[in-house]
Structure 1
Amino acid sequence: MRVAGTGRRAVTVAWAVALAATALGAVPAVAHAGHDGKAGPRGYTAADLQRDLAAVRAAGGGDVNVVARVDRAGQAPLRARFGTAGLGSRQPVPWAPEFRTASSTKTFTAVVVLQLVAEGRLSLDDTVDHWLPGVVAGNGNDGSLITVRNLLQQTSGLFDYVTDPAVQERMSGHFAENRYDDTPPEQLVAIAMTHPPLFRPGQGRWAYSNTNYLLAAMIAQKASGQDWAQLVEHRIIAPLGLRHTYIPGADPFLIGPHERVTVDGPDGTPVDLTEQSFQHTADSGVVSTPADLDTFFRALAGGRLLPAAQWAEMRQTVPYDDLPVPPAGRQGGYGLGLRVLPLTCGGTYDMHEGDGIGVYGRPAVRADGRRAVTVAITTTTALVDQTRVNEAVEALTDHALCDRG
């Protein structure tokens, strides 16, 4: 989940306001790895990954727990970790922690929608009104003007329901009473409809809105007869054998090894954010691990999930303005549930960040599908400075994916 057009997740902003006493002090400067991102004679090593991940941890304030994994075709994976399994724990970060992938879920949702497009069950040019008549209406909202492509590409202009003041208050000011909130997506869309759109589609503008992916999932259900969770489970999780990826829905508990997620409350008492149901919908509801996310993104880039035509559509991008410029020196673009970014060594990589409640995931894959990397970060005392963390993760990702292996 995130705030549209600001580069900050709505949940993060809400907690930052509610827990003002946890404001970060000075954060150490990001330390870059001792090479320029291009593969040297020895290639990218476990020691390189450890050094790059240390820079990510420093960017997060030094009190976050981090783990990273690089999967390479025909080679053993590289792994690195810092920190513990959570506040007060003496156990190290699990090598394969389950975590809520937050907005990385959007890539899963976009894939199943594009699979339905490939099967002729719907079209990217279908309007929202065609499938959901009357759902997007009022206060200047008009579903007859918004296409499925607009939803997946974040060019609809629809208000992001997460930024609604009442929703933010439930997530931040009254988290304990509402941690099991399982508001249906239809009601969340209705909340968004109480606000005017940011702009009308077709104006060449882009703004991140979680509302778009609730609507895309509702359309997929109409077109297929299955809800988005069933589509993802049957079309992605099962075929790829992602044994540690699942969709808990309103179930607040994680099944396998994971880290405790905490932040200091206004009075300094730690607030445990680990168990919660807020992230139960098609914009944020997938739980996974670094290994499974690497497998998913490599399968996607390797042509195992989409026909060539839909994969090309997914990577057709428009400019975005909510992440730092990557090390290559030029900004990437947003496709259909996927960001495409340049590499310093030439070529591109594909990714979709996920920033939830004290959890930050960064899965990415090189365009040829041969190499993928996922970084997972969890908080113990304070929410992170996302700009600095994104810069550090972009550097790590560039180094790991620019290796020739």
Structure 2
Amino acid sequence: MPTPRTLLALPVSLTLLCLSAAASQAHPAPDTNALVRLLVARGGAPAAALLAHDSTGVGTAPTGTDHPRTGTDDAQAESDYALGTTEYTQAGTGIGRADHFRVGSITKTFIATVILQLAAEHRLSLSDTVEQHLPGLVHGAGNDGRALTLRSLLTHTSGLYDFTAVTGGTVPVTPTQAVRMAITHPPADRGRFSYSNTNYVLLGLVIRQVTGNSYATEAERRIIAPLRLTGTSFPGSRTTLPSPHGRAYAADGSDVTDLDPRVAGAAGELVTTLADLDRFYSALLGGQLLPPHWLREMLDTRTAHGSYGMGLFPVKLPCGTTVWGHNGRISGSYVRTAATVDGRHVLTFRVNTGEIADPGLEPALLAAEFCPRTS
């Protein structure tokens, strides 16, 4: 099973998953303001920003019902979120609090949520094979859609080759082209965690097959509109960002703000804002989008041997707190969201380039935000 450090070596222009291990610290973590400044001073980013929201202790805990919260419960959740404390920090120039930006692999949490909603509606089963929904598509070089389940796609245990290893995350492709690139390569061992963007491209196709609508349409209807995520969109082939937005830079300093999102598709297309990401993860983990059974399925990491749930992964911090979330890397942008398991305390930070030169800064930021301060 790849280590977090190994995963950092995945193609830097697109994904998307960097499972940063929480390093043990002998001294109290610096505060988040100082660490955001270090993302620029030591991390090599032109600019960085962080938005954290904490509603711990406000209102009541989520109920144990078998359905997502609706009606007055939703109103209570909105009130709880509004009553929490919010902290915004930025460093460098070229980033604004309300900016739209690309989030890369954080898109996967949205896709996984839609799939699990469809499972809750009995429109598909996680034990369904890929062949049942996409007959004949996954076949060749030892790949066999009859042997792969939707669960294996969600948890990255299908063994499918990552198409971005071919494209470098810089070539726009259709979903079918992405899959065909992947299946010319033999698979990794099935059942072993092996992160691959191809898995979520296939899940995007499954959503269309089951609903008759694109993954973007379903996510907008089921997540973006109900949560009023007004800064969040699936741009399709639109290369420009909505206003307001800053600039995005490659490692060599070139401007890569304009980008064809089809380099990522369902594996990393999304555009959003700091506030929308905080609200989304807070709502998801707070039980507003999935019934309790299906939220537990999402957080179950046993299939991936502790590395990954379904569109989310856990990180245990030095203080013993476990946070859940995802990160994303796409050309000109690196983003990380993490939250407590109840969604009441959430943090999103971003830099306007695809790399953080000092990999220790991310776990330090998470520890600074979620671990109690010591004197």
Counterparts of 1:360-379 in structure 2, within 5 Å, are 360-379=334-353
Partner of 2:246: 259
Matched, 1:349 2:318: no
For residue 207 of structure 1, report the CA deviation from its aligned partner: 0.7
Tell me whether 1:66 sits opposite 2:53 in the alignment: no
Cα distance change of structure 1 residues 209 and 251 upon mapping to structure 2, 3 Å threshold: same
Give 2:332's aligned amino acid: G
Q: How does 1:9-20 map to 2 (within 5 A)?
A: 9-12=10-13
Counterpart residue number, 1:107:
109
Match of 1:311 in 2: 295
8 Å contact 2:155–2:310 — kept in the other structure? yes
Q: Does 1:384 align with 2:355?
A: yes
- 1:280 is displaced (CA, Å) by 5.1
**Matched AA of 2:279:** T
The amino acid of 1:299's aligned partner reads A
Say whether the 8 Å CA contact 1:137–1:193 is kept in structure 2: yes
Q: What amino acid is aligned across from residue 399 of structure 1 in structure 2?
A: A
Which of the residues 308, 313, 325 maps onto 1:334?
A: 308
Gaps of 5+ in 2: 16-22, 56-82
In the alignment, does 2:332 pair up with 1:358? Answer: yes
C-alpha distance in 1 between matches for 2:203 and 2:350: 27
For the Cα contact (< 8 Å) 1:49–1:79, is it kept in 2? no
Q: Is the 8 A contact 1:97 1:289 kept in 2?
A: yes
Q: Deviations over 1:219-250 (max 9, x none)?
A: 12211221100111000000000010111110
Q: Distance in 2 between matches of 1:5 and 1:319?
A: 20
CA distance in 2, matches of 1:132, 1:250: 23
Question: Aligned pair 1:243/2:230, yes or no?
Answer: yes
What is the SS of the residue equivalent to 2:33? helix
In structure 2, what is the equivalent of residue 54 of structure 1?
Answer: 37
Task: Give 1:97 shift.
Answer: 1.8
Give 1:395 shift. 1.6
CA distance in 2, matches of 1:33, 1:293: 31
Q: Report the AA paired with residue 198 of structure 1.
A: A
- In structure 1, the gaps of 5 or more residues are 15-29, 38-47, 86-92, 172-177, 322-331
Aligned to 2:368: 399
Pick from 282, 287, 295 the counterpart of residue 279 of structure 2.
295
> In the TM superposition, what is the alpha-carbon distance from 1:59 to its structure 2 partner?
4.0
Residue matched to 1:327: none
Matches within 5 A, 1:221-240: 221-240=208-227
Tell me how far apart the structure 2 counterparts of residues 377 and 320 of structure 1 sit (CA, whole Å): 29
Name the counterpart of 1:132. Answer: 134
Q: Contact (CA 8 Å) 1:249, 1:280: kept in 2 or not?
A: no
CA contact (8 A) 2:157 2:304 kept: no
Structure 1 equivalent of residue 28 of structure 2: 35
Contact between 1:129 and 1:135, CA under 8 Å: does it hold in 2?
yes
Cα gap change, 1:276 to 1:349, in 2 (>3 Å)? same
- Following the alignment from structure 2 to structure 1, what is the Cα–Cα distance between the partners of residues 14 and 145? 29
- Work out the CA distance in 1 between the residues paired with 2:284 and 2:14: 32
SS at match of 1:274: coil
How much has 1:129 moved relative to structure 2? 0.6
Question: Counterpart of 2:11 in structure 1: which amino acid?
Answer: A
> Is the 8 Å Cα contact of residues 33 and 52 (structure 1) preserved in structure 2?
no
CA distance in 2, matches of 1:223, 1:232: 14
Q: Distance in 2 between matches of 1:240 and 1:355?
A: 24
Shift of 1:399: 2.0
- Sequence identity of aligned pairs in percent? 38
Q: Give the RMSD, CA atoms, in angstroms.
A: 2.6
* Over 4 Å off, 4+ runs: 318-321
Partner amino acid for 2:120? A
2:324–2:338 CA contact under 8 A, matched in 1: yes
Task: Give CA-to-partner distance per residue, 1:179-219, whole Å, 9 cap, x none.
Answer: xx3x21111111111111122x23xx111100000111111
Count residues with an aligned counterpart: 334
> Given residue 364 of structure 2, which amino acid in structure 1 is its aligned partner?
A
The residue that corresponds to 1:274 in the other structure is 257
Tell whether 2:74 aligns with 1:82.
no
Aligned to 1:19: none
Q: Residue 290 of structure 1 contacts residue 363 of structure 1 at CA under 8 Å; is this kept in 2?
A: no
Relative to structure 1, is the Cα distance of residues 115 and 59 closer, same or farther in structure 2, using a 3 angstrom cutoff?
Answer: farther
Partner-residue secondary structure (3-state), 1:105: helix
Structure 1 residue 345, shift from structure 2 partner: 3.5
Q: Is the 8 A contact 1:101 1:284 kept in 2?
A: yes
SS at match of 2:87: strand
Tell me how far apart the structure 2 counterparts of residues 56 and 207 of structure 1 sit (CA, whole Å): 29
**Are 1:215 and 2:186 counterparts?**
no
Q: Secondary structure at the match of 2:109?
A: helix
Structure 1 residues 4, 216: closer, same or farther in 2, change over 3 A? farther
Amino acid in structure 2 at the alignment position of 1:71: H
Equivalence for 1:20: none
Asked whether the equivalents of residues 14 and 104 of structure 2 are also in contact (C-alpha less than 8 Å), the reply is no
Deviation at 1:349, TM superposition (A): 1.2
Q: 1:33 and 1:242, CA in 2 relative to 1: closer, same or farther beyond 3 A?
A: farther
Mapped contact 1:128–1:147 kept (Cα < 8 A): yes
2:187 matched residue in structure 1: 197
